[in-house]
């Protein structure tokens, strides 16, 4: 079974994000970058499928700068077989050119399954994986929390409001990973050593012109200090008044 | 007010040597490396990079496997220093890099030293040892990350998140290390996500653990390696602030808020005009058992010299680390064994009067690399052959600088004023008066009396509690990790309270049930390892996650 996993380098979810001087990007100094956590679920699922099937190949693909090699190495250290870096000067906000670049790379690659994270935690567009499916004219299941593959078919479970949706599909297909799909492994020492010797193909590409651009980035409004309106039952009218006129939630 | 004596030495458990030095052969499922460095700090990375470069250009040693183990989840996350760095060793290590591209911040242009009282600050002439012309303000995290990228590009194996738990030995030879397991429950039994330890076999093991390294301590004890004086330590607590007002000079202070019988001082360094590193360092031979370095730093920020700089700003990061301060006379007589070398802060290559250690650490790593390269080439990694490292470092500026100031820290053991007079004489005579060694005692044996600590309530803005501090260190250690701190069984209340004041991360508490150890809070500063409960290696990725410390 041949599986491709699309991954992305993103700022650590713990990072303290600062807007850069130009107002349209984040200041990267002191920020740690990691493999997008949802992509980590996708890589783990691909490795488990390969292990279960007793063979096959797991290829990780990303669009990014030279620094994204490190992100690919992380996936290779976990156990992926080879990596492809579609090298660009800058990452666009628009998911369309990224999805096109990935689809162009994956088309004709003979992949039985393409796994992606359901979203990247930096821009959270939730779009690239499903766009890749559309461009490749493949069935797609988004935000999957459980996946079974057998005999050229797949069964995926999606956690929806109030229940679980079970989806059957035929391969090849695109599946995007949600939290809960698995518990990703930490790269083992042997895996880290082996990753250095695995093939990592860097292909410079030019992205299609984006249709979206950053106009501005802004911080969320600062949280105001709380206020105690009173105590006990007597405080209820004042609380309702405050919720209605100040917080405007009633 | 009680003034009962407190004697931490009587309650300090011995070093757990049986746990740190194993005689098992490496397991079959091991990893074989030529050289393994324990610790990806400035010493370990400089050594690995120098060795990789020498090997690359050598037909016999091309392709040797070099590995660097690091206990932090990512490189630099356990690295902390002031820091004003002398770029000498970095320039030697990276001769092809434009000096402007080195991972250093602003060059030191202006500097000032103040003697502080509670309300006032008197500008002192800058002592010659403290002049910083040509040096740069820097973040050790940034230096380490930058060096790590270069190491990775050279094919060095960087194993972040993998602490070394024990030395593997055969007879008198060190044959490798065993990593810590991860995923143990509080009871020490494998839990969810358990992964066992891994053995790494290597021809040479380089201990670059940094300050108060447990393997380096165990190695010296096992080999019977001594030094004229015992190593002594200081605890430094550091904060990083984004300020509204710019600062244009590096500042050092002496005096308040330290008691007169404690040795130490503070620093305030601009990394950028509005990004300020500040901290307070106190020698662990202090006499008031209720002294609390974290709290003293909080008080210091309210002083009229600092408050206007910080007010309205934001505390970005917090951290703590010990510093080996014993100097020349605390250097182990040998820093090699069969298959083993010790470098950097794990040896104690720190010059206290100039407040420098980072470039000595790198330089020692580079000398170690050259000796290891020659030993591998000769097919002989015995102590005798690796001893070339000792000879190189002894003949170098590292030990020469430390010899010149050999008694300066030691002169302060009797308090600030006597120390200041003696230090002045030493400076004037190039260390010749008094020329003889001033004998020191281990920090744990310093005479201490318990007192009632002054109350202090942090405001949550300018001053913070220890719990807030731990959060600002980035520490996200899981709550159910087994304790890696080993206190004695019979810790009494006075000693427990001494630990509680000393530990900047709020690990120790005296409760109705006795001493309580909140191990996940630990930021690996090692302070209590010096005078109390032993620190042992724990699951990889535990502890702080410093970004620009």
Q: Which residue of B has its CA nearest to A17?
A: B316
Q: What is the pLDDT of residue A239?
A: 92
Domain count, chain A: 2
CA distance B51 to B64: 10
Can you tell me the distance from the alpha carbon of B82 to that of B337, in angstroms, rounded to the nearest whole number? 32
**Least trusted range by pLDDT, from A31-45, B74-88, B347-361, B418-432:** B418-432
For residue A26, the tally of other CB atoms under 10 A from its CB is: 14
Higher pLDDT, B272 or B427: B272
CA B85 – CA B104 distance, rounded (Å): 8
- A242 & A163 share domain: no
Please, which pLDDT band fits residue B418 given cuts at 50, 70 and 90? confident
Q: State the Cα–Cα distance between residues B322 and B210, nearest whole angstrom.
A: 9
Domain shared by A129 and A240, yes or no: no
The 3-state secondary structure of B460-502, one letter per residue: CCCCCCHHHHHHHCCCCCCCCCCCCEECCCCCCHHHHHHHHHH
Grouping H, G, I as helix, E, B as strand and the rest as coil, residue B486 is: strand
The token pair that represents B417 in the structure block: 């004023």
Query: Do residues A34 and A97 both lie within one domain?
Result: yes
- Same domain, yes or no, for A118 and A182? yes
A81 and A171, same domain (yes or no): yes
Residue B375: the pLDDT is 98
pLDDT of amino acid B130: 86
Query: Is the CB of residue A67 less than 8 Å away from at least one CB of chain B?
Result: no
Is the CB of B158 less than 8 angstroms away from the CB of A188? no
Phi (first) and psi of residue B89, to 5 degrees:
-70, -40
The pLDDT of residue A44 is: 98
- Residue B315 banded pLDDT, cuts 50, 70, 90: very high
Asked if residue A238 and residue A133 are part of one domain, the reply reads no
Is A209 a domain residue? no
Tell me the C-alpha distance between B416 and B422, whole Å.
Answer: 10
Whole-number Å distance between alpha carbons of A135 and A132: 5
Q: What is the pTM of this model?
A: 0.93
Domain range annotation of chain B:
15-455
What count of Cα atoms within 13 Å lies in the side-chain half-sphere of residue A105? 28
Q: Is residue A212 part of a domain?
A: no
One DSSP character per residue, B332-374 reads -S--EEBTEEE-GGGTT--BTTTTB-HHHHHHHHHHHHHHHHH
Same domain, A145 and A63: yes
- pLDDT value of position B3: 66
Chain B residues with CB inside 8 Å of A14's CB?
Answer: 474, 476, 545
One domain for residues A248 and A190:
no
Query: Is pLDDT of B367 > 80?
Result: yes
Q: Under an 8 A CB cutoff, do A192 and B159 touch?
A: yes
Contact A193 B161 (CB under 8 A): no
- Shortest distance between the Cα of A8 and any Cα of chain B, in A, equals 18
pLDDT digit string, tens, across residues B35-53: 999 999 999 999 999 999 9
Whether A118 and A155 share a structural domain: yes
Per-residue pLDDT at A160: 92
Residues A157 and A82 in one domain: yes
Q: Is A222 touching B (CB cutoff 8 A)?
A: no
The CATH number given to whatever domain includes residue A45 is: 3.40.50.620
Question: Which residue range is the domain that position A112 belongs to?
Answer: 2-204
Average pLDDT of the residues in B99-128: 93
Residue with structure tokens 């402007």? B100
- Name the residue among B31, B193, B195 with its Cβ closest to that of A193: B31
Q: How confident is the model at residue B1 (pLDDT cuts 50, 70, 90)?
A: very low
Give me the DSSP letters along A94-124.
-HHHHHHHHHHHHTTS--SEEEEES--TTT-
User: What kind and span of H or E run contains B121?
Assistant: strand B121-124
- Residue B174 pairs with which residues in a beta bridge? B169
The Cα B444–Cα B274 span in angstroms is 39
Nearest-angstrom CA–CA distance, B105 and B79: 16
The 10 Å Cβ neighbour count of residue B303 is: 20
Q: What is the token pair recorded at B521?
A: 């809070």
Give the model's confidence band at B520: pLDDT under 50 very low, under 70 low, under 90 confident, else very high.
very high
Euclidean distance between the first and final Cα of chain B, in Å? 39
Containing B537, the helix (H) or strand (E) segment is none
Q: Is the pLDDT of residue B344 over 50?
A: yes
Contacts (Cβ under 8 Å, ≥6 apart) of B522: B475, B477, B484, B485, B505, B507, B535, B542, B543
What are the start-end ranges of the H helices in chain A?
37-53, 68-78, 95-106, 128-136, 189-195, 236-245
Compute the distance between CA of residue B342 and CA of residue B214 in angstroms, rounded to an integer.
Answer: 12
What are the tens digits of pLDDT across the range B485-513? 999 998 999 999 999 999 999 999 999 99
Lowest mean pLDDT among A220-234, B145-159, B362-376, B473-487: A220-234
* Residues of B in Cβ contact (< 8 Å) with A189: 31, 159, 162, 179, 198, 200
Residues 6+ apart with CB under 8 A from B435: none
pLDDT digits (tens, 9 = 90+) for B290-304: 999 999 999 999 999
DSSP code for B187:
T
Q: What does the alpha-carbon distance between residue B425 and residue B431 come to, in Å, rounded to a whole number?
A: 8
| Residue A232 within a domain | yes
| Chain B interface includes A193 (CB < 8 A) | yes
**Each residue of A171-223: pLDDT tens digit?**
999 999 999 999 999 999 999 999 999 999 999 999 999 998 878 888 888 87
- Say whether domain B15-455 belongs to CATH 3.90.1660.10: no
């Amino acid at each position: 079974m041949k599986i491709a996993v699309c991954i992305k380098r993103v700022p650590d979810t713990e990072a303290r994000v600062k807007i850069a001087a130009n107002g349209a990007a984040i200041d990267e100094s002191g920020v740690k970058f990691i493999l997008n956590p949802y992509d980590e679920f996708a890589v783990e699922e691909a490795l488990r499928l390969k292990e279960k099937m007793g063979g096959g190949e797991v290829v990780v693909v990303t669009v990014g700068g030279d620094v994204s090699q490190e992100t690919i190495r992380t996936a290779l250290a976990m156990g992926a077989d080879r990596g492809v870096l579609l090298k660009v000067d800058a990452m666009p906000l628009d998911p369309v050119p990224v999805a096109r670049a990935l689809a162009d790379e994956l088309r004709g690659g003979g992949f039985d399954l393409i796994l992606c994270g359901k979203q990247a935690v930096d821009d959270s567009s939730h779009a690239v994986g499903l766009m890749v499916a559309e461009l490749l004219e493949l069935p797609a299941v988004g935000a999957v929390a459980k996946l079974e593959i057998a005999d050229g078919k797949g069964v995926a479970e999606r956690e929806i409001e109030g229940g679980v949706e079970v989806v059957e599909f035929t391969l090849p297909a695109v599946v995007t990973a949600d939290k809960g799909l698995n518990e990703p492994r930490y790269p083992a020492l042997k895996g880290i050593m082996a990753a250095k010797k695995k093939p990592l193909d860097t292909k410079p590409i030019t992205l299609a012109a984006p249709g979206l651009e950053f106009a501005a980035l802004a911080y969320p409004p600062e949280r105001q200090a709380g206020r105690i309106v009173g105590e006990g039952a007597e405080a209820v009218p004042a609380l309702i008044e405050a919720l209605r006129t100040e917080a405007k939630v009633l | 007010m009680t003034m009962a004596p407190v004697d931490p030495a009587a309650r300090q458990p011995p070093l757990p040597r049986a746990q740190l030095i194993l005689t098992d052969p490496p397991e079959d499922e091991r990893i074989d490396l030529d050289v393994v460095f324990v610790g990806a700090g400035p010493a370990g990375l400089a050594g690995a990079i120098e060795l990789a470069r020498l090997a690359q250009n050598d037909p016999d040693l091309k392709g040797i496997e070099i590995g660097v183990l690091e206990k932090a989840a990512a490189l630099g996350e356990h690295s902390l220093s002031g820091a004003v760095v002398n770029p000498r060793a970095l320039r030697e290590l990276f001769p092809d890099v434009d000096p402007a591209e080195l991972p250093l911040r602003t060059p030191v242009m202006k500097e000032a030293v103040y003697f502080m009282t509670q309300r006032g600050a008197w500008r002192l002439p800058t002592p010659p040892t403290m002049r910083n012309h040509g040096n740069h303000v820097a973040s050790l995290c940034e230096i380490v990350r930058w060096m790590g990228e270069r190491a990775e590009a050279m094919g060095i194996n960087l194993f972040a998140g993998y602490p070394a738990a024990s030395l593997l030995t055969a007879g008198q030879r060190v044959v490798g290390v065993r990593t810590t397991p991860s995923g143990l429950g509080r009871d020490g039994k494998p839990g969810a996500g358990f992964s066992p330890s891994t053995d790494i076999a290597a021809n040479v093991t380089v201990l670059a653990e940094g300050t108060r390294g447990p393997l380096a301590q165990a190695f010296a004890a096992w080999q019977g390696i001594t030094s004229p004086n015992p190593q002594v330590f200081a605890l430094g607590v550091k904060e990083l602030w984004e300020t509204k007002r710019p600062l244009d000079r590096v500042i050092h202070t002496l005096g308040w808020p330290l008691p007169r019988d404690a040795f130490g001082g503070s620093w305030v360094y601009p990394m950028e005009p509005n990004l300020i590193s500040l901290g307070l360092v106190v020698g662990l031979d202090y006499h008031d058992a209720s002294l609390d370095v974290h709290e003293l730093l909080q008080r210091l920020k309210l002083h009229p010299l600092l408050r206007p700089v910080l007010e309205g700003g934001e505390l970005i990061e917090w951290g703590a680390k010990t510093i080996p301060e014993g100097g020349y006379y605390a250097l182990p007589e040998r820093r090699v064994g069969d298959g083993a070398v010790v470098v950097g802060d794990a040896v104690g290559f720190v010059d206290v009067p100039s407040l420098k250690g980072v470039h000595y650490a790198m330089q020692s790593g580079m000398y170690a690399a050259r000796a290891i390269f020659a030993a591998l080439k000769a097919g002989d990694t015995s102590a005798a052959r690796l001893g070339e490292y000792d000879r190189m470092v002894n003949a170098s500026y590292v030990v020469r600088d430390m010899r010149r100031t050999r008694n300066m820290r030691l002169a302060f053991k009797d308090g600030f004023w006597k120390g200041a007079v003696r230090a002045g004489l030493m400076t004037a005579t190039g260390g010749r008066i008094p020329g003889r060694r001033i004998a020191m005692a281990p920090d744990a044996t310093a005479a201490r009396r318990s007192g009632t600590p002054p109350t202090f309530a942090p405001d949550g803005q300018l001053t913070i509690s220890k719990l807030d501090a731990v959060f600002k260190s980035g520490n996200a250690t899981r709550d159910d990790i087994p304790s890696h701190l080993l206190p004695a069984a019979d810790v009494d209340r006075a000693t427990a309270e001494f630990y509680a004041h000393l530990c900047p991360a709020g690990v120790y508490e005296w409760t109705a049930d006795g001493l309580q150890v909140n191990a996940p809070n630990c930021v690996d500063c090692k302070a209590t390892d010096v005078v109390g409960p032993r620190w042992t290696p724990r699951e990889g990725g535990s502890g702080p996650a410093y970004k620009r410390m």
